[in-house]
Structure formats: C-alpha cells, structure tokens
Amino acid sequence: MFSIETFLAFLAATALFAYMPGPALLYTAAQTISRGKRAGYMAATGIHLGCYVHVFAAAFGLSAIFAVVPTLYFALKLAGGAYLIYLGVQMFRTRVASGPVPALPEKSTRRAFLDSVLVEVLNPKVAIFFIAFLPQFVSPHADFPIWAQFLVLGTIVNCAFTSADIMTVLFATEVKKRLTRTSRFQDLSRWLGGSLLVGLGLKLATDRS
C-alpha cells in the first residue's frame, strides 16, 4: 500500500491522536464512573461500532459533503451536542438508594451501548477528522483502490481509539474502587458523570471549529 516508513509514521500519529485526552475518553470515563465498569465497556463498544459509520463515509466520499454543505455539519453538530446534554440531564435525575452499589441492570448496559453508538454517529468532527487525516497516508498509485485503503487505515485508527477507551474504563474503574461505595459517592459519581456529558455537549454544540 505504501512504504514502511509511511506506515510507521501513520501508526505513530494514530497513537498520538488515540491517547490524547479528548471528548471520547471523557465520555467513556463519565459512563464508567456513573454506571460502572460494564457500562464503560459497552460505551467503548458503542463508540467503536458508531465510528465505522464515519470510516465508511470517508471511504466512499460521503463525509466530504460536510465540507461543501456547512449547514448540514452545523445541524448534525447541534444534534450531537443536544443529545449529550440530554444524557447528562438524565444522569442528574437518576435516584440511587443508599447502601452498597447495586448491580447494573441489563437494560442500563444496553442503553449505554445504544447511547454511545448514537453519540458517535452524531459527531461530525469524527467525520472531518477522517477525511483530513486518512488522505495523508493514501496513495493513488497503490495496488489497492483508494476506498479500500480508507477502510483499512480507518479500521486501524478505530481500533487504536478503542484501545484508549478500554484503558480509560480500566483507569476509571480503579479510581472508583478506591472511593467509598456509599450513596454519597453514588450521588457524586452520577453528578460528575452528568456534568462531563453536559460539558461535552455544550462544547460540541458551541465550538466554532
């Protein structure tokens, strides 16, 4: 597809972007702190699958629409921000009984997964990232067609980002274990998680970039 030097540069840049603290890692941490380790993993899985929408969009040129139709980009960004804020408010409204931390219902983990897929799909910045980043490493002279190169490189990037999400879940879980498992901590965790989601939603909706 391209030289080993180019591929190593691609891997280095991908790792840098993946493990740089950003909205996706904060979102995964918020889900883990407020809902638990299992929900964190489900959130990471949802983000991973949702990201493939942007990978395929970049591969087949659909993401380029955002560059020529700014209104569509702005509308999708507002929708994504509003949904994050909604999720944060829902965390604020959740009431937790006193006592040990209860097991998370299956419905809650499934909801964390579905929420995460939707949050990722509604984030146009992910689409812009792929159409800005991947072409730097795509060669029109390679044996593989350009769309196939996009799919391969996009999958590698997505897997790297997911590895960072999983590390975030593990770290957030350890932090949570060290804190007292009382209703006070549960209230604090859901308020912290909700605040992170509302903050991310406001940033996404108001960011001018």
CA distances to 21, 52, 68 from 156, rounded to whole Å, are: 19, 11, 27
List the structure tokens of 128: 């812009």
Task: Give counts: helices (H), strands (E), the chain.
Answer: 9, 0
CA 56 – CA 50 distance, rounded (Å)? 11
Q: Taking the alpha carbons of 77, 83, 88, 92 in that order, is the dihedral positive or negative?
A: positive
Q: Token pair 């659909």 is at which residue?
A: 62
Mark 3-13 as b/e (b = at least 16 C-beta within 10 Å). eeeeeeebeee
Q: How far is CA 106 from the centre of its chain?
A: 21
At residue 98, what is the residue type? S
Give the residue from 201, 65, 17, 19 showing the smallest Cα distance to 122.
Answer: 201
Give the pLDDT of residue 104: 47
At residue 26, what is the residue type? L
CA 166 – CA 29 distance, rounded (Å)? 10
- Rounded to two decimals, what is the model's pTM? 0.74
CA 62 – CA 44 distance, rounded (Å)? 24
Q: pLDDT truncated to tens, each residue of the chain (209 aa)?
A: 567 888 888 999 999 889 987 788 888 988 888 788 999 999 999 999 999 999 998 888 765 665 666 777 677 678 767 877 877 787 666 654 444 444 445 457 888 899 999 989 988 888 888 888 888 888 777 788 888 888 999 999 999 999 999 999 999 888 877 765 555 656 666 677 677 777 767 776 676 65
